């Protein structure tokens, strides 16, 4: 069953972002902070000295735990108290003041909740400056991610979705509906992506995270974990890299992508 092309979760689960934000921001959980550092710290080289930085689908806003940059504008479809601007990823309703003015967009584990990710990437291009970047972290639909999602009945995936036809891949009636295969469908084949999106160049496309995620204690949920110090967390990350290098389709739980806008959108 873990080789299925698609799986539909029985329930749509909405995270408690108020609880999760408090848990993360006041966290003494070194495992979780190590994971978040791995997800966000690499972004600093792309956002340093940039003026307009917008995160889409910010959720609990945990990026601010790792990156101390007041220029990051947090947006979400739900206007939580810490969210700077309410933005629907399907519409990207940022307004004329941001057209061709955005230096960097950040999407962290939220693109798979977007019913039409290709339309979103096109709309982002309209706001992004030439040579601007989109920094993305997304789930990777490996054997073990499928296993976790089936056992926990956590989120849905479909490797059958035709993401490049610019039509919705699921009903956007709830911001928590998802297809965790979106990043794999969009970015696994660099040439195919660039054929459909000639305005972008893929600068980075990497797989990561196995044990450092499983033993983190959870980002949007709280799970049992074995507490480790930084030395053993670094060792665990080395083990992850070895496992993913040899068996990426089995172990990788996260895909990191960097897109650079090199041309204007002609569509």
Closest CA to 126 of 75, 200, 47, 203: 200
Domain boundaries, position 142: 19-211+222-254
- pTM value is 0.96
In-domain check, residue 27:
yes
| CA–CA gap between residue 8 and residue 130 (Å, rounded) | 38
Looking at the domain assignment, is residue 227 inside a domain? yes
Which residues are within 8 A (CB) of 35 and not within 5 positions of it... i.e. 6 or more apart? Answer: 209, 212, 213, 216, 219
pLDDT attached to residue 166: 86
Q: Predicted confidence band at 13 (pLDDT cuts at 50, 70, 90)?
A: confident
**Quick one: pLDDT at residue 4?**
83
Domain membership of residue 99 (yes or no) is yes
Check pLDDT > 60 for residue 146: yes
Picking from 160, 207, 208, 164, the residue whose alpha carbon sits closest to that of residue 186 is 164
Residue pLDDT, tens place only, 187-229: 999 999 999 999 999 999 999 999 999 999 999 888 899 999 9
Question: What's the confidence (pLDDT) of residue 267?
Answer: 52
**C-alpha–C-alpha distance, residues 186 and 196, integer Å:** 10
Residue 202 lies in a domain: yes
Report the number of distinct structural domains present in the chain: 1
Look at strands 102-108 and 128-139 and give their pairing.
parallel
pLDDT at position 18 over 90: yes
Residue 50 lies in a domain: yes
CATH, residue 183 = 3.40.50
Q: Is residue 238 part of a domain?
A: yes
Q: Taking residues 62-70, report their average pLDDT.
A: 94
| 128 part of a folded domain | yes
Judge whether 137 lies within some domain: yes
The string of pLDDT tens digits covering residues 106-137 is 999 999 999 999 999 999 999 999 999 999 99
3-state secondary structure of 7: strand
Alpha carbon separation from 71 to 105, 187, 203 (Å, rounded): 12, 28, 23
């Amino acid at each position: 069953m873990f080789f299925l092309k698609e799986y539909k979760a029985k329930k749509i689960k909405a995270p408690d972002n108020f609880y999760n934000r408090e848990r993360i921001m006041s966290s003494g959980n070194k495992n979780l902070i190590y994971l978040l550092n791995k997800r966000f710290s690499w972004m600093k080289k792309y956002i340093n000295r940039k003026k307009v930085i917008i995160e889409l689908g910010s959720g609990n806003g945990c990026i601010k735990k790792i990156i101390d940059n007041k220029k990051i504008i947090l947006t979400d479809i739900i206007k939580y108290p810490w969210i700077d601007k309410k933005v629907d990823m399907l519409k990207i309703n940022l307004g004329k003041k941001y057209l061709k003015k955005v230096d960097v967009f950040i999407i962290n584990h939220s693109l798979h909740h977007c019913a039409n990710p290709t339309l979103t990437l096109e709309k982002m291009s309209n706001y992004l400056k030439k040579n601007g970047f989109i920094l993305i972290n997304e789930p990777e639909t490996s054997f073990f991610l499928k296993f976790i999602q089936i056992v926990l009945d956590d989120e849905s995936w479909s490797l059958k979705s035709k993401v490049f036809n610019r039509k919705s891949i699921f009903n956007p009636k709830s911001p928590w509906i998802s297809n965790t295969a979106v990043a794999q469908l969009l970015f696994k084949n660099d040439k195919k992506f660039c054929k459909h999106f000639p305005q972008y160049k893929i600068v980075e496309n990497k797989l990561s995270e196995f044990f450092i995620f499983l033993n983190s204690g959870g980002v949007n949920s709280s799970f049992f974990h074995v507490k480790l110090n930084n030395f053993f967390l670094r060792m665990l990350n080395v083990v992850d890299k070895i496992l993913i290098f040899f068996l990426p389709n089995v172990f990788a739980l996260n895909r990191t992508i960097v897109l650079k806008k090199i041309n204007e959108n002609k569509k």
